[in-house]
Structure 1
Amino acid sequence: MKPAPFPAKSTSAASVVDAGAERYVIPNLRNACRILKLLGRSTEGYKVADIARELKIPVTTTLRIMSTLTLEGLARKVEGRFELGPILIQLGNAALAGTEIRELAQPVLLRLTQATDETAHLAIPCDDRSLIVAVQDSPHPLRAASRPGFLAELHCSSTGKSFLSFLHYERLAELYPAGTKLTKRTPHTRTTLAEIRREVEATRKRGYSLDDEEFNPGVRCVAAPVYASDGKVAAAIGITAATVRFTRERIPEMGAHVLAAARELSEHLGYHGHESS
């Protein structure tokens, strides 16, 4: 006698997971997400009362959410109406960069590693950090490179310095106001605004940035900015190597390789101009 078949389940595995996830939902965080989606549907913006009525959220709750979103730059108020905030442009660019740029960068990183025999990496700006999104490892057993997903401080990483020099140049004082205490990772790390400004000017002059044992002892890195079709810095590409191989004498040579790779990737992104910054 055959065993009776298992009774058919009325819910799918996905719905069970979704139902379980509902227990961990933060209602007002979800409401904030719903509001952002609503704001994205119109270029004219919404009044608080309109948002509350459309999404069936209490007006007082809506007002508190909008105040928070505005404070964080996710929304802004223009003539009594709320619209999407400027920070979302940066987040959107970062999301695109993390997918499209990474795919376009892989063959460029491979060629850069083949030309230098060292580890190549790609990073995108992520708020006040540099986010590593792709790495092409060196054939050497001794490697010195962060892995994809790593967030590095701007002031002491080569890709971060490229962002400071070519993307955040006008915002240095804002990023590092008086009294800011920066992490001193090694004895070589520059931690004052005056030191950072000097480093930024040197970077802009030569076109590539240098991490000279400032993030990790015994590790030297160079990087250069990658431009999108609109002429704005979208990423930075660089190489990382142990100082025993990447000596000071090789900095100009490595810098030239990185600049060439950055120009190639910029062209793939539709940029055909010259860095005017």
Structure 2
Amino acid sequence: MSAPASAPPVATSPGRERYVIPNLRNACRILKLLGRSTDGYKAADIGRTLDIPVTTTLRIMTTLHLEGLVRKNGPHFELGPVLIQLGSASLAGIEIRTAALPVLERLTGQVDETSHLAIPCDNRSLIVAVQDSPHPLRAASRPGFLAELHCSSTGKTFLSFLHHARLAELHAGVRLTRRTPRTLTTLAELRREVELTRKRGYSLDDEEFNAGVRCLAAPV
């Protein structure tokens, strides 16, 4: 499995907690976990990773499978085709995407490289619009892709200009995954990178997300 250990459930206020349906929340956590994996998960691994009883996990996975939200690939569960439809509908409704596409088209025309727009989403960076480079060898960005904050250029921008005061809170108890030999994996390294980004006004992914790929991002 290529996904990192999942973060604990997002904290809710005592007043809202009484309205939470535990197994519905667990189903949401499972879908988020599968979204961070390229190989899928066995039901037992899902339960172990998220600290959900195996019998409960099996019932949730059976329900999600019946609704098309997950699919079976041998013993592994993966995200299902219904989520493509839901994701496309969600992205189509984002007004900023419509406004950004002409700008991204002009930017790619100027630099001949892939450009994209991302927004913060559940402590990750969500790509919502992409303009591909005309070159056959190019970055494979796609709308709907979620990137970790600590090793992506857009993620570092959010950490530097949006979540600066919450840096330690966001990464409390969360392991910073080493995706390449150049990935920053300690909070001290990330703090230095955030300060540098704030000073110069843009962030860099220096082969930290994918080896051989460098990305630049700035807040808009």
For normalisation by structure 1, the TM-score amounts to 0.47
Distance 2:188 2:93 in 1: 32
The verdict on how the C-alpha distance between 1:97 and 1:194 changes in structure 2, with shifts beyond 3 A counting, is farther
Distance 1:125 1:183 in 2: 18
The verdict on how the C-alpha distance between 1:215 and 1:96 changes in structure 2, with shifts beyond 3 A counting, is closer
Number of aligned residue pairs: give it: 140
Distance 1:161 1:110 in 2: 23
Query: Which one has the largest radius of gyration?
Result: 1
- CA deviations 1:199-224 (Å, max 9, x no partner) are 00110011000000000000000000
2:149 partner letter: L
The verdict on how the C-alpha distance between 1:97 and 1:128 changes in structure 2, with shifts beyond 3 A counting, is farther
Q: CA deviation at 1:96?
A: 9.2
Distance 1:204 1:63 in 2: 36
Distance 2:165 2:17 in 1: 33
Aligned: 1:205 with 2:159: no
Aligned: 1:166 with 2:161: yes
Is this contact kept in 1: 2:114–2:133, CA < 8 A? yes
Distance 1:193 1:106 in 2: 34
Specify the SS of the correspondent of 1:131: strand
Aligned: 1:115 with 2:110: yes
Which residue matches 1:195?
189
Distance 1:67 1:110 in 2: 43
Distance 2:157 2:190 in 1: 12
Q: CA deviation at 1:67?
A: 9.1
Give the counterpart of 1:217 among 204, 211, 220. 211
Is this contact kept in 2: 1:98–1:124, CA < 8 A? no
Which residue matches 1:84?
none
Superposition map of 1:1-277 within 5 A: 64-65=18-19, 99-177=94-172, 179-226=173-220
Identity %, equivalent residues: 76
The verdict on how the C-alpha distance between 1:67 and 1:137 changes in structure 2, with shifts beyond 3 A counting, is closer
For normalisation by structure 2, the TM-score amounts to 0.59
Distance 1:63 1:129 in 2: 23
1:204 partner letter: R
Distance 1:155 1:149 in 2: 18
Distance 1:205 1:149 in 2: 30
1:123 partner letter: A
1:200 partner letter: V
Which ranges of structure 2 fall in alignment gaps of 5 or more residues?
A: 1-14, 26-89
Distance 1:200 1:155 in 2: 10
Is this contact kept in 1: 2:91–2:97, CA < 8 A? no
The verdict on how the C-alpha distance between 1:120 and 1:127 changes in structure 2, with shifts beyond 3 A counting, is same
How much is the aligned-residue C-alpha RMSD, in angstroms? 2.5
Distance 1:63 1:200 in 2: 33
The verdict on how the C-alpha distance between 1:214 and 1:66 changes in structure 2, with shifts beyond 3 A counting, is closer
Specify the SS of the correspondent of 1:180: coil
Distance 2:91 2:130 in 1: 18
Specify the SS of the correspondent of 1:225: coil
Is this contact kept in 1: 2:91–2:128, CA < 8 A? no
- CA deviations 1:5-35 (Å, max 9, x no partner) are xxxxxxxxxxxxxxxxxxxxxxxxxxxxxxx
Which ranges of structure 1 fall in alignment gaps of 5 or more residues?
A: 1-47, 49-61, 72-94, 227-277
Specify the SS of the correspondent of 2:184: coil
